[in-house]
Structure 1
């Protein structure tokens, strides 16, 4: 059962999807649920000693876990691979939220991306549906929180750091982050998107 748990974590980690204890018990442990703590302890030991990963519980109320690369965080490097275009996009958003004090209206994020020639209202040749990725995928992965702002009419939303971002980045100094941070707050980069900018970014 330990090997099945390890495989399940690795499979979920490919898409950066957090693992819920309820799903582990239902789909993996099944009749072994009574020894759940022991199986998790063994899996954690294998990950740490064999893979250099650590199982971290990011939501103690709902028992949600993610894998963190101990080797990268020990060296002071972000656990998020910013070389990937999608992760680069995530770094831009996280940096804006950080600099704005922890919460940013979504219109600020969309305007920032437009300065980088990434229009959330248009399909990007590398990123695809940007708005869906930011408001759904990154939220599902627990990198971002997408929260409705109370008493707004029409309804407005804001972004915050998600539980996974807090664990992987520890809100470290933005100066230690990669080029995406500087691009988010400097002149637009020369890399063009696949489409012309539009004037709106409706949900």
Structure 2
């Protein structure tokens, strides 16, 4: 391959990585042209539908959320309207309200809009222990255990860390991002792609770095699901220390827990 061809190929690959996928771009376009119906429009729309028709559409939306939740993939409003709500879009607010009620009452799941700008929803387990702890209290699988370690490092380092620190931490646990792992497969892809798509982590380029560096932060789903107080308890057991010994993190963890309790 000539130098010119290699350069052209590299530029094309770089541009393709920066460009959103066709489906994602289409969803964003769909969302910009979707106008939330007014209460009057919703009422008029409901008058043209039977109760059975509305409940059948609610059941379809509930099922859609449950299927997406199996992979912990957030649902965009545009995607929901286009693929499921369809011709019922003029009663969308009522559909969502009844969907949220069904998920709560039947499945013990709370429908949470984690991104009000882009209108993205997730499901959070609403069947919480009596002490009011967050749904994710401790790792429940090897993959969640890996995520828990990463979230712990980010939390203890003030909410943002360079990726090299995460990779070095995982190497100490014999999980090398440069090698295929028996349990996790491609570790780097799991962390920077799957956990990011699921909104457990944010992975962003640090400006003006050469070579290019990235940093991690907690994602919107982690903020909604993961208890910082439980992370401190986990680390306290690991290092045989009282959670209060990390005074700054302890204060943050319990202030955020109190805030979550008041919102419920």
TM bracket, shorter-chain basis: 0.7 to 0.9
1:178-200 per-position Cα deviation (integer Å, ceiling 9, x unaligned)? 89x838xxxxxxxxxxxxxxxxx
Partner of 1:58: 114
8 Å CA contact 1:78, 1:177 repeated in 2: no
Partner of 1:143: 200
Report the CA distance shift for 1:36/1:132 in structure 2 as closer, same or farther (over 3 A). same
Give me the whole-angstrom Cα distance separating, in 1, the residues matched to 2:169 and 2:222. Answer: 20
1:134-172 per-position Cα deviation (integer Å, ceiling 9, x unaligned)? 000000000000010011011100000001000112543
Matched ranges for 1:58-77 at <5 A: 58-72=114-128, 75-77=131-133
Q: Secondary structure at the match of 2:114?
A: strand
Report the CA distance shift for 1:177/1:16 in structure 2 as closer, same or farther (over 3 A). farther
Report the CA distance shift for 1:26/1:75 in structure 2 as closer, same or farther (over 3 A). farther
| C-alpha deviation, 1:176, in angstroms | 3.5
When the two chains are superposed, the root-mean-square deviation of aligned CA atoms in Å is 1.9
Quick one: higher RCO (CA 8 Å, sep 6+), 1 or 2? 1
Larger Rg: 2
Task: Verify: 1:165 aligned to 2:165, yes or no.
Answer: no
Report the CA distance shift for 1:139/1:171 in structure 2 as closer, same or farther (over 3 A). same
Report the CA distance shift for 1:178/1:16 in structure 2 as closer, same or farther (over 3 A). farther
Task: Verify: 1:86 aligned to 2:143, yes or no.
Answer: yes
TM-score (norm 1): 0.84
Give me the whole-angstrom Cα distance separating, in 2, the residues matched to 1:176 and 1:39. Answer: 40
Question: Which segments of 5 or more consecutive residues in structure 1 lack a partner in the other structure?
Answer: 184-203
How many equivalent residue pairs?
182
Partner of 1:99: 156
Give me the whole-angstrom Cα distance separating, in 2, the residues matched to 1:26 and 1:48. Answer: 24
Q: Secondary structure at the match of 1:131?
A: helix
8 Å CA contact 2:204, 2:215 repeated in 1: yes
1:81-132 per-position Cα deviation (integer Å, ceiling 9, x unaligned)? 6221111100000000000000000000000000101111111111111100
Give me the whole-angstrom Cα distance separating, in 2, the residues matched to 1:101 and 1:119. Answer: 24
